[in-house]
Amino acid sequence: MGNEPKPYLTFRVARKDLAMEAGRVRGILPYSELEPMPGMHPGLLGITSLQGQLIGVIDLRTKLRLPPASRGSQPKIVVLEITTGDRPQLAGFVADRISDVVVYRDRDLRSGALRGKGRPRRLVDFDRLVTESEMAGLWALTP
């Protein structure tokens, strides 16, 4: 493991402090850009668009088995690149609040959480969290 500092996007979902590698973020959109789709899989919230490309939005609360909570006053859709199978793809999730971009070193990651700058933040590994079949389902929504 190297010790080069890396930037992480920190955010909240269901009153939990979370983080992800900032280099994977491709855009942050207002929550109003979410288009709910009736009859969708429970793990999906709907679709959005980034630079003309339709993108499926994942329900991160369900994926992380977090309890229901209010969306917060400033929810955002975070669009990120996920690698499943043989190619990177775009997906989105809703954050109740975007906190900041914080630089951490590898040594700051302990027991799945980034520690050392404010509150500990659980690191979310979207490549492991979202399966290839779920990404295929997102692609089916986005012609």
The pair phi, psi for residue 66, each rounded to 5°, is: -95, 150
42 part of a folded domain: yes
- Give me the pLDDT at residue 69, please: 73
30 part of a folded domain: yes
- Give me the pLDDT at residue 62, please: 86
% of residues, the chain, pLDDT over 90: 43
- 1, pLDDT greater than 80: no
79 part of a folded domain: yes
78: pLDDT confidence band, cut at 50, 70 and 90?
A: very high
Domain carrying residue 30: 6-141
1 part of a folded domain: no
Whichever domain contains 65, its CATH number is 2.40.50.180
CB count in 10 Å sphere of residue 27: 16
Q: Which residue has the tokens 């207002």?
A: 30
- Give me the pLDDT at residue 31, please: 94
129 part of a folded domain: yes
Query: Could you tell me if 137 and 44 are in contact, meaning their C-beta atoms sit under 8 angstroms apart?
Result: yes
- Give me the pLDDT at residue 131, please: 65
- pLDDT 10s digits, 4-35: 889 999 999 998 999 999 999 999 999 999 99
Query: Could you tell me if 122 and 19 are in contact, meaning their C-beta atoms sit under 8 angstroms apart?
Result: yes
38 part of a folded domain: yes
Q: Tell me the H-state helices in 23-123.
A: 60-63
Least confident among 12-21, 54-63, 101-110, 133-142: 133-142
Structurally, how many domains does the chain consist of? 1
- Give me the pLDDT at residue 142, please: 47
**Closest C-alpha to 79, from 15, 121, 142:** 142
91 part of a folded domain: yes
- Give me the pLDDT at residue 17, please: 93
Percent composition of the chain: helix, strand, coil (DSSP 3-state, to 5): 20, 50, 35
